[in-house]
Chains A and B, each alone.
Chain A
Amino acid sequence: MSKLFISTTNCGKAHEADIFGMSISNPFTVTVSGDGTLKLWKNKLLDGQQPKEHVLSKFVHKTGVHHVDVFHSMERGGIEVFLVACVSFSGQLFIYSVDLGSGAFQELDLLTKSENQKSYWCVRFFKSDDLNVPHKLVATDVKGNTIVWNLKIFREEGEADGQTSEEKDVHLVLKGEIPSPEPNFATCVDVSSKGLIVTGFQDGSVSVSQLETLRPIYVFEGFGIKGTEESSNTVRDVKFSPLGELLAVANDSGSYGCVTLYETEYGERIGNLTVPTHSSQANIANFTHDGWVFGISFNSTGEFLATCGYDGKIRVWDVKQKERVSTLNISAGDIEIEDDIVSKDELGDSLKIPPVMGVTFINKGVRGGVGSDTNEGLSCICLDRSVRWFREAGGV
């Protein structure tokens, strides 16, 4: 069975430089870029409204920003919390609180002095649905350590009775660190609802640990085809399925990109997502994209996985069948506003088929417009400095 996605909105020249990271929340699609800014694109647009007219922008750091994640939660007493965490190329971790009414950014200084001296790379929030389990903030550093904080929303009164007041006071309590056995660049991280934490490394290994004890339980190594290209298998993204049963790992295999699925109970490899490489049926090699896979995203039910890559394609996979159900070919020319098309960069390099740097599923009812309440959608960022939004066709 195939799925069809149609473009709803897109925005060229969304940033001044390459867009490296994205995250989606109910009110905003959030992007960060090499130009050093963080942008919050309003999701609920009326017909005819342009994304560029409804964007909150915040300059973060002059070296550029590459990873971002959003925390949006309705806490006790109807207190709404909207946090954005992002990491700059200088290795600093920035956390902002955004007032959804006024759109004002407030930079929060939540890290201690020694924590601020680390060189961070990837950052992820984990929203806990259990009142007794605190929310988490997880970050990796360049040396390969994974640092975990409890994210507390309310001021804590006495320690003895564990009573918390109703006063909002966002703060972090360091939970611990999962050290890397040897220095190894930690490229990506994710947290599952089942209490696991996964870190992907540059050398191709993936380590899964328990969130509660921070103890490693599995290490997966050696993906992709071995041979001349085996030395290049950098892990670029890791994601748990919404229920935490599955783990998807995107890694390089030479100049190709692979996505491998594992089940999390026993750490068994389930299989790869592959496209036929030699004829419509024959697979010689197990590749997901003809280029590195930069981003993967499960939909809300965990039935489908979207992958994107350097080949300028987004693919949607049926997770159970491990079959491809849709391919979106991105082209620089399909930006609606002609002036915003970037088909060449400053050095004259063609961006006609721009590499896709990130993809995420959009839940039903997040975006505005026709059909968005009944259908899921996709959003992606591309190297032609664009952000694009799609929705599944049909059912309108």
Chain B
Amino acid sequence: MGIQANVKLRESLHDFKHGKQLRTRRLLMDALTPCAREIRLTKPDDSEQLAAEISTLLSLMKNAVEQHGEPLHIVLGLYGKQVKQPMRFPFYGFERVAGVSADKTAILISLMKRVQRQLDLKETCTVRDVFYINVELYKNQRMVTEWLNALSEAFELPHRDMLRVVAAQKGLCFTPIDLHHGDSMILKHQKSLIPFMDINTHFTGMWSGVDRVVVLEKDAVFNTLVDSLPVSASALIVTGKGYPDWRTRHFLNKLMLSCPPRVVFEVYTDSDPYGIDIALKYVQNCEKFVYNCPKLCYKGVLIQELLNDRLSTRGLQLLNLTIRDINFGMRLLQRAAGLELPGNNKRVLTQELQRQLFYSKKAEMNSVSNSDFASYFSKKIK
């Protein structure tokens, strides 16, 4: 009790009413506004020191609230490059509660704690793992991803996976050689999930055993090719299962940089506008270079191959393009026409898209060569 007596208390509204006189409304507002602690998340001097940076930030926040009783004013990113709206926590001010709500701050801080732990333990976990730890707070996985992205942007990390919370793997790969990277490896002759990679990952192995890297839209076709021994003996096969996730694209980029130049990169998708879009997503997307694989060539399945091939596939049904497909194709064609694509890709993709639209037909890649993709593929690479 005695100690408390020495503490100089801040004036309350009551004091102002009855004791101190403040002449203007402005002065009153200033006097009542608490002294906030601005915490700014910016690029650490050394990205290796990310864990230390996060723990400093967390302790600053803790001190501000616990020791000094100051509300937090959290800003992500530098001046002029703010990633998110600044957050006030606990909320203070005279206007009605506006801006970012308190649970967003809770999400951010909780994620920072999680990331700090992962970095300390040097372990990697998935977004899904994080999400299930506190479903009530995060509400959905997208929220976790969104705030991880925000963190990554605020710290200006070259790669979000440096936070050691990564998206769950979607893509699959099959390699004819053992691929070493860091301390681990992808075993040959078995289907594996695309491994976690960081910026320094480099794949090494007996590259002489690989002639080509084949990217497929569908995992059904992936399985067919993997089971076809003549094909899988010398081909590294990758699928992103439909629209590829970032990791699969990153993996291809790494492969492209790791393997000798003679290895060819090919992509096969459904013969419809979405297939073309998926191929484009691998070859070039507007994101950072680490997600692009410009060496990749679009090879099919081409609509005219399905047409010319019809003697061997009697009864093959080409489906009509729906109006949605047509509109999507038209927009995609406009987008593709404005892109600079390496090699023959632009010409081939544009031509293919034009033909699909003109014929107004589409087909699935599984149906080629009498539903035998492996034999189609063998013929194609001859």
Contact = CB atoms under 8 A, between A and B. Distances in A.
Interface of A: 17-18, 20, 34, 62-64, 66, 89-91, 119, 142-143, 183-185, 187, 202-203, 228-229, 231-232, 234, 254-255, 291-292, 310, 345-347, 349
B124 interface: no
Given A62-B337, A347-B299, 12 more contacts: A17-B351, A17-B354, A18-B355, A34-B351, A62-B338, A64-B354, A89-B357, A202-B360, A229-B315, A232-B318, A232-B320, A255-B316
A254 B317 CA distance: 7
B281 to A, nearest CB: 20
Given A183-B323, A185-B323, A202-B360, A346 B348 contact: yes
Contacts of A90: 330, 333-334
Contact of B358 (A20, A183, A229): A20
B129 interface: no
Contact of A63 (B299, B317, B323, B337): B337
B23 to A, nearest CB: 59
Contacts of A184: 323
A168 B355 CA distance: 39
Interface stretch (B159-167, B254-262, B305-313): B305-313
B137 interface: no
Contacts of A310: 307
A254 B353 CA distance: 21
A18 B304 CA distance: 13
B111 interface: no
A349 B308 contact: yes
B359 A346 contact: no
Query: Which 6 A-B residue pairings sit nearest by Cβ, starting from the closest?
Result: A62-B337, A34-B354, A63-B333, A255-B310, A63-B337, A90-B334
B327 A34 contact: no
Contacts of A202: 320-321, 360
Contacts of B357: 66, 89
Interface of B: 299-300, 302, 304-305, 307-308, 310, 315-321, 323, 326-327, 330, 333-334, 337-338, 344, 347-348, 350-351, 353-355, 357-361
B140 to A, nearest CB: 33
Nearest to A91: B330
A232 B317 contact: yes
Contacts of A20: 354, 358
Contacts of B333: 63-64, 89-90
Contacts of A349: 302, 304-305, 308
A63 B334 contact: yes
A229 B330 CA distance: 27
A84 to B, nearest CB: 19
Contacts of B326: 142, 185
A89 B358 CA distance: 9
Given A18-B354, A255-B316, A346 B304 contact: no
B350 A229 contact: no
A292 B359 contact: yes
A255 B307 contact: yes
A232 B318 CA distance: 7
Nearest to A143: B323
A234 B355 CA distance: 15
15 contacts: A17-B347, A18-B355, A34-B354, A63-B333, A63-B334, A89-B333, A89-B354, A185-B360, A228-B315, A231-B320, A234-B320, A255-B307, A255-B310, A292-B359, A346-B347
B101 to A, nearest CB: 39
Nearest to A20: B358
Contacts of B348: 346-347
A62 B350 CA distance: 10
B331 to A, nearest CB: 8
Nearest to B325: A185
B169 to A, nearest CB: 32
Contact of A64 (B308, B323, B327, B350): B350
A185 B316 CA distance: 22
Contact of A234 (B300, B344, B347, B360): B360
Nearest to A183: B323
A142 B354 contact: no
B324 to A, nearest CB: 9
Contacts of A291: 307
A222 B360 CA distance: 18
Contacts of B327: 119, 142
A346 B307 contact: no
B344 to A, nearest CB: 6
B363 to A, nearest CB: 11
Q: Which of B318, B321, B344 has the most CB of A within 10 A?
A: B318
A23 B318 CA distance: 29
A185 B330 contact: no
Contacts of A234: 320, 360-361
A181 to B, nearest CB: 14
Contacts of A17: 347, 350-351, 354
Contacts of A89: 330, 333, 353-354, 357
A185 B334 CA distance: 19
Contact of A119 (B302, B330, B355): B330
Nearest to A187: B360
Contacts of A143: 323
A183 B353 CA distance: 22
A385 to B, nearest CB: 11
B344 A346 contact: yes
A90 B353 CA distance: 12
